A and B are shown apart, each in its own frame.
Chain A
Amino acid sequence: MKRSNLLTEWLPPLVVIVAVFAIWEAGVALLRVPEFILPGPTAVWVALVKWREAIWFNASQTLYTTLVGFAMALVGGMGLGLAIGYSTLVYRALYPLLVAFNSVPKAAIVPVLVIWFGIGTIPAILTAFLISFFPIVVNVATGLATLEPELQDVLRSLGASKRVIFLKVGIPRSLPYFFASLKVSVTLAFVGAVISETVAANKGIGYLMIAASSRFEVPLVFAGLIVVAAMGVALFAFFAVIEHRLTSWAYRGPALTV
């Protein structure tokens, strides 16, 4: 049982990843692509090891800004999502503005944030927050909006107030939606932090990549990209596990996605 799990779950992605690296390495070697255009995986690995201290320092900065921004989005998104789901008036009043706000490319906001807060940590945190906020709001509000009317009738026929229905049914019912949004949202927060760092920062993995590319240290740029991707996967996986643990009742069949 355990062994077959290992085979069916972990082997296919592992094979694909190894194959991609192998094709990449072979392609670069066969076509003699110069290292400053596209370094092979081994060159990237060498850069990764050589610059490990700088990478570690900058990656932890990015992780910090991502998580602070994400925590803000989590609290704000849950709150606003519940408010929108609870009250039709709040929904009507705020929804168009929220959609409009979400349509603005966040990269365009970074310069404004820099004017307000200067170069550094705060714009990165705020960009992470702004970009990851919306999916949480929409998901929580959707969870509340899709409440079955019969479920409400059961409680209303007992004389339950709107507040009680909200607490007993609304919030638990919206939790799977909330947790589903977290894994998407946290990767977005990460993207936001990196974007902000590439535009205006003096540390962080985005800053590291920009600095490396201006010096034609292309293997280091790719090392940065790999680290970014790995951190994104790690954050996604972390919240996917939390989601599964806390709302297992919503995942009773064989899962289509994780």
Chain B
Amino acid sequence: MTNLTVEETFVRLDNVTLDYQHEGQVVRAVEDVSLTVRRGEFVVVAGPSGCGKTTLLKVLAGLVVPGRGSASVGNVQVRGPQKNVGMAFQNPILLPWRKVMDNVLLPMEVVTPHKERFRRHRAEYVAQAQELLASVGLSGFDDRHPWQISGGQQQRASLCRALIHNPEILLLDEPFGALDAFTREELWQVLQDLWMQRRFTVLLVTHDLREAVFLADTVYVMSTRPGRIVSRTVVDVPRPRTLEDTFSAQFTETYHEIRRQIGEVLGR
């Protein structure tokens, strides 16, 4: 299904356990999580809310350090914030004082080597951003402020911001969770198109199983807190997947299989 012939492990979590303090109590967010992601693979981590999915992304981004175990990207252990990572969250969290274009360009002002060239080569970067905005259907909106566009458009801009510096890894934390069903499904396709063109590695967490099956090469199911990986399912539905495919026998079969695994996790 992917045209990669080398099964190269790119991202790796080894027995990651992480606790955090909450009002004086120690809460275990994730326990003994191991998973591997190939370069260019689209991995979805699905699970009930509050199962520590977000924590996994933060570990990979280098925002939190696991208590036990380790994370590595391209055989280098993650010890701090990574610059080859793009992130998007459930809330678009664009900066309200910046126009869409300037929001998308924000990583260029921060990440090396772009930040050193940003001022002198601004036009070049603007052109890149415009191309990216066009590919998510946001042409002509670069001059608007975030509050002047809809929630779906804000999320598109947020995706562009996550991708503008061509990160090797895209970490998505329920990015479509707050959108209406139509916009959500449209953005699945937008994301799939972007991924098929650019072939970055994606780790997306969600509790929407249709979303998981639609987008993923591999779906990992996590248990309730403390989060553990309970199963791994390879989705063989050919790409590009369309919304019509979500009604195919193969799709629904995979969906039901994962749904059953989640049901076991929840004890129902």
Once the chains are docked, how many angstroms separate the CA of A247 from the CA of B165? 29
CB–CB B165/A158 < 8 A: yes
CB–CB B91/A150 < 8 A: yes
Total interface residues on B, using CB and 8 Å?
28
CB–CB A168/B106 < 8 A: yes
Once the chains are docked, how many angstroms separate the CA of A126 from the CA of B58? 50
CB–CB B95/A172 < 8 A: yes
By a beta-carbon cutoff of 8 Å, the part of chain B in contact with chain A is: 58, 61-63, 80-83, 85-87, 89, 91, 93, 95-97, 106-107, 109-112, 145, 147, 161, 165, 171
Q: Is A94 located at the chain interface by the 8 A CB criterion? A: no
Q: Is A257 located at the chain interface by the 8 A CB criterion? A: no
CB–CB A158/B81 < 8 A: yes
**11 examples of A-B residue contacts, CB within 8 angstroms:** A151-B93, A153-B58, A154-B87, A156-B61, A158-B85, A158-B107, A158-B111, A159-B83, A168-B106, A168-B110, A172-B97
CB–CB B82/A159 < 8 A: yes
CB–CB B95/A157 < 8 A: no
Main DSSP-derived SS at the B contact region: loop
Task: Please give, as numbers and ranges, the residues of chain B lying within 8 Å of A157 by CB-CB distance.
Answer: 61-63, 81-82, 85-87, 171
A178 CB to closest chain B CB, in angstroms?
A: 13
Q: Is A114 located at the chain interface by the 8 A CB criterion? A: no
List 10 additional A-B contacts (Cβ < 8 Å) besides A154-B106, A157-B62, A157-B171.
A150-B93, A153-B58, A153-B89, A157-B86, A158-B83, A159-B81, A168-B106, A168-B110, A175-B97, A249-B145
Task: Please give, as numbers and ranges, the residues of chain B lying within 8 Å of A67 by CB-CB distance.
Answer: none
Task: Please give, as numbers and ranges, the residues of chain B lying within 8 Å of A168 by CB-CB distance.
Answer: 106, 109-110
Task: Please give, as numbers and ranges, the residues of chain A lying within 8 Å of B93 by CB-CB distance.
Answer: 148, 150-151, 154
Once the chains are docked, how many angstroms separate the CA of A158 from the CA of B95? 15
Q: Is A242 located at the chain interface by the 8 A CB criterion? A: no
Task: Please give, as numbers and ranges, the residues of chain A lying within 8 Å of B171 by CB-CB distance.
Answer: 157
Q: Which A138-184 residues sit within 8 Å CB-CB of chain B?
A: 148, 150-151, 153-160, 164, 168-169, 172-173, 175
CB–CB B110/A252 < 8 A: no
Residue ID in chain A nearest B85 by CB atoms: A157
Main DSSP-derived SS at the A contact region: helix
Task: Please give, as numbers and ranges, the residues of chain A lying within 8 Å of B109 by CB-CB distance.
Answer: 168
Once the chains are docked, how many angstroms separate the CA of A250 from the CA of B146? 11
CB–CB B96/A151 < 8 A: no
A159 CB to closest chain B CB, in angstroms?
A: 4
A138 CB to closest chain B CB, in angstroms?
A: 22
Residue ID in chain B nearest A165 by CB atoms: B110
Task: Please give, as numbers and ranges, the residues of chain A lying within 8 Å of B110 by CB-CB distance.
Answer: 155, 158-160, 164, 168
Once the chains are docked, how many angstroms separate the CA of A153 from the CA of B55? 12
Task: Please give, as numbers and ranges, the residues of chain B lying within 8 Å of A164 by CB-CB distance.
Answer: 110
Task: Please give, as numbers and ranges, the residues of chain A lying within 8 Å of B86 by CB-CB distance.
Answer: 157
A223 CB to closest chain B CB, in angstroms?
A: 44
For A151, A154, A168, A247, the residue with the greatest tally of chain B CB atoms inside 10 Å of its CB is A154
Task: Please give, as numbers and ranges, the residues of chain A lying within 8 Å of B89 by CB-CB distance.
Answer: 150, 153-154
B18 CB to closest chain A CB, in angstroms?
A: 16
The 10 nearest A-B residue pairs measured at CB: A159-B83, A157-B61, A249-B97, A157-B87, A160-B110, A159-B81, A158-B110, A150-B93, A252-B147, A249-B96
Once the chains are docked, how many angstroms separate the CA of A157 from the CA of B109? 14
Task: Please give, as numbers and ranges, the residues of chain B lying within 8 Å of A159 by CB-CB distance.
Answer: 80-83, 110-112
CB–CB B96/A153 < 8 A: no
Task: Please give, as numbers and ranges, the residues of chain A lying within 8 Å of B80 by CB-CB distance.
Answer: 159
Once the chains are docked, how many angstroms separate the CA of A64 from the CA of B165? 51
CB–CB A153/B97 < 8 A: no
A171 CB to closest chain B CB, in angstroms?
A: 10
Task: Please give, as numbers and ranges, the residues of chain A lying within 8 Å of B145 by CB-CB distance.
Answer: 249, 252
Once the chains are docked, how many angstroms separate the CA of A58 from the CA of B171? 65
